[in-house]
Amino acid sequence: MEKLKKCLLKLEPLKEKSKKEFYQDEYLKDIVERNLEVAIQSCIDIANRIISLIDLEKPKDYYESITILGKENILPYDFAQKFAPIAGFRNILIHEYLDIDWEEVYNNLQNIDQFYDFMDYIKKWLAQES
């Protein structure tokens, strides 16, 4: 969770950049891309750790890591369904880095609140479990 939080703190002030500023600044694009990648991977790692700890069905892929948490009411089901595609975006950032859709990167930057929501839901679940 700390790694996720650190990434979000780096991304938060960058949300204020205009689309024009974003597209014109290669360094800014790199910072956003990398921190989104690590934030997404952190969410996937958290999901997989929970799945392992409470012995849930093993996910077939990263997308399913998130949806399983929704099926098990660890995350609200609707939120999990809406958030899970972020796993596919992570794959694009890692594997298709030559063909990144910068519009999608910018849109995900503008929607980093979903990562805060993920953290809040996990914290609430952890509090209930202890």
Catalytic residues: 90, 95
User: If we measure between CA atoms, which residue out of 115, 120, 104 comes closest to residue 22?
Assistant: 104
Residue 57 sits at φ, ψ, to 5 deg, of -55, 140
Query: In the structure encoding, which two tokens stand for residue 46, read together?
Result: 């958290």
Distance CA 25, CA 30 (A): 9
118 DSSP 8-state letter: H
Query: In the structure encoding, which two tokens stand for residue 66, read together?
Result: 């998130």
